[in-house]
Structure 1
């Protein structure tokens, strides 16, 4: 496994981040434990979750991770733990968003579920347009002083949200954000307009989620042909719309003698500002495949062909102004 610093921080994280959203949805507790053990066996030290993850009620995923940490074996010490807050955790006021009150309550609740006394990376799952940044940063500064969190990150922010957050942090002589978690893959490249440039300028590491665009970049046509996968609804509509491009993509992967999912992850690892794509395996066997992507080197010619199949964006405003 390879490691890099998360943004401008001194925090070292693996080039793959283990996403846990499937835990309790499509992955039961024993298999979730095996997935996390397998991640450590592969030297993946970066785990991402959120307080809203889990069924039948939000919080179950953090609880399972806490039980896994409690088994010992330096599981917690070996893990760079990232979680998120924003979504409502109850029906009463102040049980969601980014008010100072909810930051305090949500953080303490996550710490309890995770059975740990600190979180390495505490992320805002969404922008809160109703809460001023001075209030948000004051609450985070208190949490840092208490030793409950080390770093702050954002998720699903626009470029100007990042700029506004960092300007407010600068006024307070506070570090501010060190990471941004956004949807980013060969098909969905909107963040190249302004989010990636903002992240690079402010020194944020980018953590892409949905790196395979819901499986469309994971060899969906071959799986469909073999009868191993059947899409429906919105996924099928997207596949039909992009079928010519995905056919070209899978043909290129065949030329490279590489699995489509590996190529999609490797492409992200070649992009500026990207720290670690989030992989969300449902089983420990699926985790094995993702490891290959870190070692896969794509030539400039291959990267150019991928850009031809799935065109990206120039930095704004050049993309649409001149």
Structure 2
């Protein structure tokens, strides 16, 4: 495994992040334990979760279930907790039976304190390394939220503040607010980015680089559309996504599969390797449902894409033309 620093921090993290969203829904607890154990053996030290992950099946949500599974894995000992850089998130409504004004999705000191306390209990730990706001709250008060983060950092319950699904302007606002407080501020942004969605190249990725923020990529395989044999899948969530593709998008996927076949690499690993090639990216999140998927994904770290291959990928999946404003203005 290869490692890099998380943004402007001195924290070293693996170039792949183990995503746990499937734990408790598509992956049973015993299998989740095996995946996490093997991830550590393979050198993956960066685990990502969220307080709303986990379900009972049949569409019924049991928010917090994934954190509970991770917590029980930590409780086995063997220095599991000490070996993991743990990231979790808060923002969403946690209990649909509550309808109070402070139970709705959003970001506030109130919500941070309550959500963090509940997550720490489920995770059976006294701290998280990275505490991420799961979505932008357009009414956010940076004085309030950074004051709460500073308090939790001072208590050792959180090591770093981070965001997810923020726009470039929000990262800039946060940086300006943190500078006024002489506070480190956000250290990373978790964002949706892949060959089929290259819009972040316009503003988000350049802004993150300018501000020294790490970028963690979610859905690097575009919900499975960039995974092996995507067009031939006939059942499940991926099949539903395939049905919604336009003819031109289907052709892109077919051309991409042909290229990967020429390279002798899986579609999944080429998609991951393409993301890892970008200097703005810290690591993509992988969400294996089996040990085999985990073992396969680790190979992506060692794939070196040639200039010719990168050019062919650009031709198949045209980006926005680079960063703004040069991408669209003279």
Q: Smaller-chain TM-score range?
A: over 0.9
Who is 1:66 aligned against? 71
Following the alignment from structure 1 to structure 2, what is the Cα–Cα distance between the partners of residues 228 and 51? 29
Q: CA RMSD in A?
A: 1.6
Following the alignment from structure 1 to structure 2, what is the Cα–Cα distance between the partners of residues 42 and 28? 21
Query: Residues 130-141 of structure 1 correspond to what in structure 2 (within 5 A)?
Result: 130-141=139-150
Who is 1:114 aligned against? 123
Distance 1:194 1:74, change over 3 A: same
Query: Residues 218-237 of structure 1 correspond to what in structure 2 (within 5 A)?
Result: 218-221=227-230, 223-224=232-233, 231-237=238-244
- Which deviates further from its counterpart, 92-101 or 80-89? 92-101
Who is 1:101 aligned against? 110
Query: Residues 63-212 of structure 1 correspond to what in structure 2 (within 5 A)?
Result: 63-90=68-95, 91=98, 92-95=100-103, 96-212=105-221
Matched, 1:2 2:9: no
Following the alignment from structure 2 to structure 1, what is the Cα–Cα distance between the partners of residues 328 and 9? 33
Q: Report if aligned partners of 1:220, 1:229 keep a CA contact under 8 Å in 2.
A: no
Who is 1:284 aligned against? 291
Number of residue pairs matched? Answer: 320
Q: TM-score by structure 1 length?
A: 0.96
Q: TM-score by structure 2 length?
A: 0.93
Partner of residue 308 from structure 2, selected from 290, 297, 301: 301
Q: Report if aligned partners of 2:161, 2:186 keep a CA contact under 8 Å in 1.
A: yes
Following the alignment from structure 1 to structure 2, what is the Cα–Cα distance between the partners of residues 75 and 209? 24
Runs of 5+ unmatched residues, structure 2: 57-61
Following the alignment from structure 2 to structure 1, what is the Cα–Cα distance between the partners of residues 30 and 126? 24
SS in 1 for 2:270: helix
SS in 2 for 1:76: helix
Matched, 1:216 2:225: yes
SS in 1 for 2:111: helix
Q: Where has structure 1 moved over 6 Å in runs of 4 or more?
A: 227-230
- Which deviates further from its counterpart, 244-253 or 153-162? 244-253
